[in-house]
Every structure is written in structure tokens, then in C-alpha cells.
Amino acid sequence: MPTFKIAQNPTFKATVQVPRIGGDPVPVEFEFKYMDRPALAELFDRWGEARRALLERVQKEELSLSDSTQAEIQLQAQQISEVTASWAFDEPFSEESVKALVTTCVGAPKAVIEAYQQAYSPSRLGNSQA
């Protein structure tokens, strides 16, 4: 009978289809940080609250378009940094390169976060919805 540990590996890999303006998405391997269910829920709660606070400031017209764009870039860069351990871009994984990715590729944050979330989905894990 095979043996295995209940504990998950601290990281896992997934391919992200990074959108490119005027071209096809490029598959890039990301190494993501594993989080257990309570830590993942806490992370998503924090992200939701940060998103709500930013939206509220925009709706109250407290931020210009330029300022709200910069705030969104900062939030998205933080999100990618919190779940990513490394990636297969030519540029090394760093705070500066994450910010460059988010700044130059508007669809990248969504693609990265969706790939991370998809890795946790029961269908992706081969589990049934019983």
C-alpha cells in the first residue's frame, strides 16, 4: 500500500496563461505557496476588504483615475507576491518585477490569481463533489 504524508508540500507549480496585448496568451510556469484552508480564507478576506476599501474611495471620488490605477497596481502586486514563490519569466521574481508585470500587463493579475485558485478546486484535484 502506498504511503504519503497528510501535510502538503510548501509550494506547488501551475501554468498561468499570461495574456499579451495583440497576441496569444503565453504559458508561464509559476511556483505558488501552499496555504491551508483557514490561511487561504483569511487571505481572501483581506483581499476582499482591500478591494472594497479601494472601490469605496473611487466611488466617493477621493482618488483620481491615475491615483486609483496606482492603488490597484499596488494591491494586485501585493496579491501576486503573497501567493507566488517563483516564476519562469526571464526576469527574476522580485518586488520590482511583479510590479512591472502588473503595470504592463493588465490581464496578468487576474490570470495569476485564477490559476492559483483553480489549483485548489475539487475538480482540479480529481475529487468529486459528493
Q: Which of 26, 64, 15 is nearest to 72 (CA)?
A: 64
Q: Is 69 helix (H, G, I), strand (E, B) or coil?
A: helix
What's the CATH number where 64 sits? 3.30.2220
Closest by CA to 122, choosing from 11, 61, 37, is: 37
Per-residue confidence (pLDDT) for residue 62, from 0 to 100: 81
In a domain, 54, yes or no: yes
Domain count within the chain? 1
Residue 57 lies in a domain: yes
Average pLDDT, the chain: 91
Q: Would you say residue 43 lies in a domain?
A: yes
Assigned domain for 130 exists: no
Q: What percent of the chain has pLDDT over 90?
A: 78
Residue 85 located in a structural domain: yes
Of 29, 23, 17, nearest to 87 (Cα)?
29
Residue 127 resides in a domain? no
Has residue 126 been placed in a domain? no
Query: What residue ranges of the chain have pLDDT lower than 50?
Result: 128-130
Tell me the residue range of the domain where 41 lies. 11-120
Give the separation between CA 116 and CA 112, rounded to whole angstroms: 6
Rounded CA separation 47/75 (Å): 8
User: What is the pTM for the complete model shown?
Assistant: 0.86
